[in-house]
A and B are shown apart, each in its own frame.
Chain A
Amino acid sequence: MKTLAQSNVGLTAGPRRELPITWQLSGHARRLATLAIAGLFFAVITRRAEFAGLAAPALLLLIGFRADRPSAIGAELITSAKQMTEGEDGAVLLRLTGIDADQAHVRLHPAPWITGGESELGDDGWHRLPFVPQRWGIRPVGTVEVTMSDRWRLTESRLTMSVPSVTCRPQPAVLDSLVVLHKLPARLGEHTSRRPGEGIEFAGVRDFVPGDRQRRINWPATTRRGTLQLNVFTAERAQSVVILMDVSTDVGEPGRSSADLAVRAAAGTAMRYLAARDRVGLISFGSQLQWVAPATGRRQADRIMNLIMTTWTTGHPLDMVSALPHTALPPGALIIVFSPLLRLRLVEALRALRERGFAVIVVDVLLAQPRGRAGAGRYRVVAELARRIWRMEQEAIRFSLREIGIPVVAWDGQAPLDEPLAPYTRRPVVNG
């Protein structure tokens, strides 16, 4: 059995609260009373003493009703973490004082999108109620129900406590490889550029000129050619990556909707590029437009994650997407778009960005297909026709984007993002 110290290192206990409780007759007591009264009733009616004997055990067990019971108990309720990730194991911890552990039964009634488990009682007196959030967002965990009974099981009391909400971050999509631009800005980083520089990637040899560092002389080449030859290395540069997350439309099965996929893909992509020391920014295209300007580092990761978790009700008008300031969309940046491509305003903005020379890659996160009722006769034909027209429109949108040099790849939300992006991670993407 796990103890609090083993399972939740570094936790500080929440405030202890004194909760008044009221005791009520339990179902067991009611049934015993029924057996006793019915036995006595039949004994009197039939004048048979054995029925009174039948009532004896039940009547004697009801004597325990006189026992003392506490009028209040102490309760400490905490969650193992305030911030979690989808699918991560969490726990609600509850410690009750003023009542024996075997007299209390604790159960978690999970809220939607929370999966609960059976309660475990640790050696340290803490009840551990495991739970797993299944979908990102600020999620209420649910309620904890404590059912207490006296040691005779004749009275019981129920107590319900709300568990504080947890902030559940999206499960970042897996992305190992990177899409790198053909022309990298002159900023120190980790991507190998085509220009010579101070990196560690060998590019070739050239003649020595006065002023060059002697430690870079390539002696085998010097011996072969008869003149001093110098090793040349490529420069290592960082790029600016702007992720455009389209959550303006949310279609599909909850948990695997277009917004869910866009959010997970944006989180995974941002974390991957930040790990490669690139400057990463995020544009959230929701009911309003919001952005985080590109930057590097751990704090930027927090800023991006905070924007992803923000409710999309405040920000700038959506028309601004094609006229964003340079701080939000630096020249020469790589733009990776996660969108179901259902908003024509966004499609137009992508065209405008491409015309301005940005390298844009669109990852299509639309899984849902229109479904209509299987009607009869004419209506069925019309519905099928409407579906076909819709599909053709969608194909036309994607075709028009490819025609102007914006690759559109589809992602199903299950496979790593490397799979759809593979054609663009093997060689640099041309920009400018």
Chain B
Amino acid sequence: MNNVRSLLAVSLLAAGSLAWAALPVTGARAGAKPILIAAICCAVFGLARLAAAGSRVRTASDAKGLPADSLFLSTPDRLWQQASSALFAVPWPQLLIVAVLGLEALHPRRPWHTAVLGVVLLGYLVALQVAESGARLAVFGVQLPLIAAGIALAGLSVAAAALPASASGSGSGWLAVLAGVAAIVAVGLALPV
């Protein structure tokens, strides 16, 4: 039952991050649609891999046959096994993250929207880890201060991005990015871990 719930949570967060980054589709620049399709594929394959990992464990537990049975597989079974191995090998969640961020970058500037996307993606990663490891959510309690600090920094970056640029040159954007990175490093060094 826990597996089903965590799988559901992962599905909802993946779908939510995808929808949040993709909408509105009409407002995005060229290239958004192929990236959206790729992101949907990544999400679907990632969920399939997660579900298959659970069912593999159950199948192994229920196995009654002789070990030699696996040596004499039919061609369709062998192909299916190879396909599922390939499915397991690709890091679908990482590809989904990159695709979702790419989608967000193709949209016009909307700082608060990007910050919310960051929080949803973080939730997706935590839910994915819970679903994969079978750990209780409580084990992530120790990370709450860091997550809170990170979200505060994201809020600061949103505020910085919302401020009107003092100069119209290209250097102001660079400076904002550098300031953001510097703030992250400073907080990271200051936190007692």
Contacts and interface: CB of A to CB of B under 8 A. Distances in A.
19 contacts: A27-B129, A27-B132, A31-B129, A32-B125, A34-B94, A35-B122, A35-B125, A38-B98, A48-B177, A50-B111, A52-B157, A53-B154, A54-B114, A59-B188, A60-B146, A102-B135, A110-B61, A112-B66, A152-B142
A35 B147 CA distance: 14
Contact of B67 (A28, A34, A40, A112): A112
A42 B142 contact: no
Interface string A186-209: 000000000000000000000000
B9 interface: no
Contacts, number: 187
A49 B147 contact: no
B128 A31 contact: yes
Interface of B: 57, 60-67, 91, 93-94, 97-98, 101-102, 104-105, 109, 111, 114-115, 117-119, 121-122, 125, 128-129, 132-136, 139-140, 142-143, 146-147, 149-151, 153-158, 160-161, 170, 173-174, 176-177, 179-181, 183-184, 187-188, 191, 193
Nearest to B122: A57
Nearest to A117: B61
A112 B64 contact: yes
B105 A34 contact: no
B184 A56 contact: yes
The dominant DSSP class at the B interface is helix
Contacts of B161: 48-50, 53
Contacts of A47: 170, 173-174, 176-177
Nearest to A33: B94
Given A34-B97, A48-B176, A255-B64, 14 more contacts: A39-B118, A42-B104, A52-B157, A52-B184, A53-B161, A54-B154, A55-B118, A56-B154, A58-B150, A59-B188, A60-B146, A61-B150, A108-B61, A153-B140
Given A28-B125, A49-B161, A152-B142, A43 B180 contact: yes
Given A49-B160, A152-B142, A54 B193 contact: no
Contacts of B174: 47
A204 B141 CA distance: 86
Contacts of B121: 35, 54
A116 interface: yes
Given A47-B173, A49-B161, A152-B142, A105 B134 contact: yes
Interface residues of A, number: 54
Contacts of A57: 118-119, 122, 146-147, 149-151, 153-154
Contact of B139 (A50, A102, A116): A102
A53 B180 contact: yes
A254 interface: yes
Contacts of A66: 193
A404 interface: no
B106 to A, nearest CB: 9
Contacts of A222: none
A284 interface: no
B140 A53 contact: no
A61 B146 contact: yes
A48 B173 contact: yes
A51 interface: yes
Contacts of B125: 28, 31-32, 35, 58
A144 to B, nearest CB: 13
Nearest to A59: B184
A112 to B, nearest CB: 6
B187 to A, nearest CB: 6
A391 interface: no
A42 B157 contact: no
